[in-house]
Amino acid sequence: MQKISTKNIAYYGLLIALNIVLTRIGSIRVGGGGVEIVRIGFGGYPVIFAGVVFGPLAGGIVGAVGDVIGHFMSPMGPYMPHFTITAALTGILPGLVMMFFKDKEESKTSFWKLILAIGVGQVITSIFMVPYFMQTLFSVPMITTVPGRVIGQAVHIPLYAYVTKVLVNRLYLVLRTN
């Protein structure tokens, strides 16, 4: 995990802005009963990228701050802190998994380690937590939301791992110099 420097704060801010734009503006949102039921897009990727590259603390910050600011900029339904916690965990979990690998720098470029790190986080947050909260808070049955989320993550997880591998390979020298 890297320390929080001015340079890292600037990176976090950029990733937060990218998260908000991709989540709130660049996504297809389907609502029902005054709440958002399905969101199709790539808004979670900047959060995952922050967790993998900068560590779990950065992933949590980017996820939580992006969710709170994004909600107040473009709300769909009431603010629920449950989803802020889920957004934070979306960045924290891949960062924690990446910390367990001995070769931390090589792990960030290993496709299969990235699949594992991103997969653990996405299965817990996107496939289990979000549908559970949707059922608990808004009475949206899990049986209606989980199958679509499984299919979506079957595409997102390898795509996110590949994009992260490519970006880290290209940006490694820039990000390495603090």
DSSP class of residue 109? T
Radius of gyration of the chain (CA): 16
Q: Are 54 and 12 in contact (CB under 8 A)?
A: yes
Report pTM: 0.90
For domain 6-176, which CATH number applies: 3.40.50.970, 3.40.50.300, 1.10.1760.20, 3.30.70.20?
Answer: 1.10.1760.20
Average pLDDT, the chain: 89
Q: What pLDDT digit, counting tens, does each position of 33-71 carry?
A: 655 566 778 999 999 999 999 999 999 999 999 999 999
Is pLDDT larger for residue 119 or for residue 106?
119
Please, how many CA atoms are within 13 Å of residue 88, restricted to the half-sphere of its CB? Answer: 11
